Amino acid sequence: MYKLISGLHSSISVHIASDYLLDAFANLWGQNLELLYDRVWKHPDHVRNLYFVYLFVLRAVTKAADYLEQAEYNTGNPIEDLKTQSLVRQLLYNPKLLSACPVPFDEAKLWQGENGPELKQQIQKQFRNISAVMNCVGCEKCRLWGKLQVNGLATALKILFSVDGENNQNQPLQLQRNEVIALFNLLNRLSESIKFVHDMEPLMEKMERHDSNPTATS
């Protein structure tokens, strides 16, 4: 549970750093690499947890591929509907993704043992509490984006809880439209975070060397 929330927090920090208000008076936006370094890069566990939550959500999407492929994507525009369905299929059955990461995350290991069912209930309860806390966020935009991503993570958990091979063949997965939207939105946000961290790696390593040896010249 901690890894999931920590990874989500790291992703949010990455997005803030990638598009930061540098000068409010001039309305100047840009990258804040110091923030990225201080909040994410200098804490190896934050980076690891970012990758962990990405693989967790990716596993949920790939495991629910059959359902997501058949889901109704109604944008109100027939052309956009077809485009959306095509993009979803391209994502779900991307050969590079399937060959590089056939089983990105084995969630079965989380539920093994006699405490497995109790652990599931605890996680579900904690996510309900987090969603309730999000209602207290003052910034309406922050509250909206925060709840959307929390809902996406809760949807990933719902998929991994309910889609369990032979154990649930008679209980088909059912997702609401807002859950599908939240899931894909979260996967997109996490993917963008991973890419930005990867792209900034040379600069982060340079800052890390300077941080460990401030007297050294670059």
The rounded distance, in Å, linking the Cα atoms of 182 and 188 is 10
Tokens of residue 176, six digits: 């609401």
Q: Residue 109 pLDDT > 70, yes or no?
A: no
Of 79, 100, 139, 216, catalytic: 139
Longest Cα pair distance anywhere in the chain, in angstroms? 65
Q: Which residues contact 206 (CB under 8 A, 6 or more apart)?
A: 218
Residue 74 near residue 81 (C-beta atoms within 8 A): yes
Query: Quick one: which H or E segment has residue 29?
Result: strand 28-30
For residue 106, pLDDT beyond 90: no
Catalytic residue among 142, 168, 171, 178: 142
* Residue 142 a catalytic site member: yes
The 10s digit of each residue's pLDDT in 119-131 is 666 766 776 677 6
What tens digit of pLDDT does each residue of 71-81 get? Answer: 888 888 889 98
Residue 203 has pLDDT above 80, yes or no: yes
pLDDT above 70 (res 12)? yes
Residue 154 neighbours by CB distance under 10 Å: 21
In the chain, count H helices and then E strands.
Answer: 10, 2
Identity of the residue numbered 9: H
Mean pLDDT of the 130-151 span = 72
Q: Is the pTM of this model over 0.85?
A: no
